Structure 1
Amino acid sequence: MITLVRRATALCVLGAALTACGTTAAEVAPRPAPSAPAPSSSASRTPTPTLAPGPGGLTPVFEHGPRTDGTNHGEQDGTRDGKLIALTFDADMTADQGPRAASGERFDNPQLIAALRELKVPATVFMTGRWAEEYPDEARSIGRDRQFEIANHSYSHYAYTDDCYGLPTVAEDDMRADLERAYTAFEKAGVPNPMPYFRFPGGCYDKAALKELSATGVTAVQWDVVSGDAFATDADAVTRQVLDGARPGSVVVMHCTRSAAPVTEEVVRAVVPELRSRGYRFVKVSDLVGAANGRA
């Protein structure tokens, strides 16, 4: 299979790469071969920044953006300077949770997405392929809304390391296929242009996992602010945790799963106006990666 990285040079020449060709080696995220569905490229699309490979060519890991005030990096009106911050939402559903969904458990959260739209907050949704299969209409709606971007959270939501919060484990030889299967699920759901960003299930990774995914050309995206919304019932406590942890360039991890994170919408409605009053501008992960100029 032709990898993302090996096709970079040809796509730069054509002027149709997802990244800003000719700017920095860090910004390479062209379209993969059809067997590994990922963001399609288009000369009319805004270039998608990624990070340069890590030491030894390992998958790079992004945790937060610059710790300075940003300038015009992507909120809706694009006119105000400010401290940049990205809210990210994990749309989790593991490969074996189909029976639970069939019995009525909700792994989606339409009210949360509606709140983000109402508040005009750009956001990045890290979606599992299994979630996209269960909720294709919602996946497509989010993916086609320019306020949002969809990134890869694996197909199965099984861990890529041992001993990761009790999650089942993906075999090392199956990691790349699991990631690529998620892109296939996005494509089948009608999600256009998913991002070349990957969030490890549980945030758990090691050198072996980074090596296994290096050929895909994705940038691994972690976070520096843990909201604590997973399984929380005290919205005020989660709100305080986000507000206390927020810094310029922060990536906040939250969840878009109603059954596992029931207070997230309430938290967002409290956090957004307060952070805006403190001078923060909400942006997508791609904006923070771009502002980092290819530096992890």
Structure 2
Amino acid sequence: MNTFPFLKRATAAGLLTAVGALALAACGAPEAPRAATVPAPAVGTPSRPPTLAPGPSGLTPVFMRAAGARDRTVALTFDADMTADQGPRAAAGERFDNPRLIGTLRRLKVPATVFMTGRWAEEYPRQARAIGRDPLFEVANHSYSHHAFTEDCYGLPTVPASGMRADVERAFGAFRRAGIEHPMPYFRFPGGCYDRRALKALNGTGVTAVQWDVVSGDAFATDAGAVARQVLDGVRPGSVVVMHCTRSAAPATEEALRTIVPELRKRGYRFVRVSELL
């Protein structure tokens, strides 16, 4: 039985947070896959969100940026990170959420894609539900545990190949329990680390793996100006920017946004969700 809810429904439209300081990096990116042709839906049924066709040998496809984009579109993405073993730290008062950042996105009317771990959705179900039901945003999968899908990924614990699909499914289950009705069929590898084995393990799930081409450098950064400059220097038409939605591990992100958003709009850029780039 298919346990991935997005296969039955539709929706409207450098560092990574972990136990320690992590760098954002992709491991062994495969040949860029071609876009899938999404069949027209039957009368009375909604269409699926856009995804990419499987890569060579049916491997899970990977999207990094809309390389052929002619108009000035950019997708801001935010990783809502929390590892499976950080519950005690949250109970002690550490904040892995950032409601002020979400509020700034709403105030500035910036569409965005939030890559959420299942553990984050369990810790902050009201926020997860509010983000998931806000038409400005879309929620995508960042694993349940935020454990790595490859060996040697910045010190993260490793998910065995036999448990990778279950970890992704568990995150979707956490989203459903939090009240996120329409998570997107997109998956971001913890630490950005993946290899052929990981892509094969997720084969058949229907997800498109989403990476990025612009690293904000916001994780553990305290200089909002430096974060803003790094984003502004890196953005090109069709870019995917990776940022973070965790107050304790990315304290300067919200302030940086207040520079990034008006400056990119001044340059003629339009903000879109990942689904719109696809």
Length-normalised TM-score, structure 2: 0.86
Deviations 1:106-157, CA, capped at 9 Å, x for gaps: 0000000000000000000000000000000000000000000000000000
Greater alpha carbon shift after TM alignment, 43-52 vs 87-96: 43-52
- The answer to whether residue 242 in structure 2 is matched with residue 253 in structure 1 is yes
- The answer to whether residue 182 in structure 2 is matched with residue 172 in structure 1 is no
The equivalent position to 2:149 in structure 1, one of 156, 160, 166, is: 160
**Alpha-carbon distance in 1 for matches of 2:47, 2:238:** 21
Specify the alignment match of 2:63 in structure 1: 62
**Alpha-carbon distance in 1 for matches of 2:66, 2:79:** 19
* Contact map agreement 2:10 2:182 (CA 8 A) in 1: no
Any gaps of 5 or more consecutive residues in structure 1? 30-40, 71-82, 290-296
Q: Write the letter of the residue equivalent to 1:26.
A: A
1:46 to partner: Cα distance:
5.6
Specify the alignment match of 2:217 in structure 1: 228
Deviations 1:17-63, CA, capped at 9 Å, x for gaps: 779xxxx981559xxxxxxxxxxx99565641000000000000000
1:192 to partner: Cα distance:
1.4
**Alpha-carbon distance in 2 for matches of 1:255, 1:46:** 30
**Alpha-carbon distance in 2 for matches of 1:108, 1:43:** 38
Q: In 2 relative to 1, CA 156–53 (structure 1 residues): closer, same or farther, beyond 3 Å?
A: same
The equivalent position to 2:182 in structure 1, one of 193, 214, 218, is: 193
Q: Write the letter of the residue equivalent to 1:224.
A: D
* Contact map agreement 1:232 1:261 (CA 8 A) in 2: yes
- The answer to whether residue 113 in structure 2 is matched with residue 124 in structure 1 is yes
* Contact map agreement 1:17 1:42 (CA 8 A) in 2: no
**Alpha-carbon distance in 2 for matches of 1:248, 1:122:** 16
Q: In 2 relative to 1, CA 43–275 (structure 1 residues): closer, same or farther, beyond 3 Å?
A: farther
Specify the alignment match of 2:49 in structure 1: 48
Aligned residues with identical type, % of pairs: 71
**Alpha-carbon distance in 2 for matches of 1:134, 1:264:** 21
Length-normalised TM-score, structure 1: 0.81
- The answer to whether residue 253 in structure 2 is matched with residue 243 in structure 1 is no
How many residues are matched? 254
The equivalent position to 2:81 in structure 1, one of 79, 92, 116, is: 92
- The answer to whether residue 118 in structure 2 is matched with residue 138 in structure 1 is no
Q: Secondary structure at the match of 2:153?
A: coil
Specify the alignment match of 1:104 in structure 2: 93
Q: Write the letter of the residue equivalent to 2:103.
A: A
**Alpha-carbon distance in 1 for matches of 2:10, 2:239:** 27
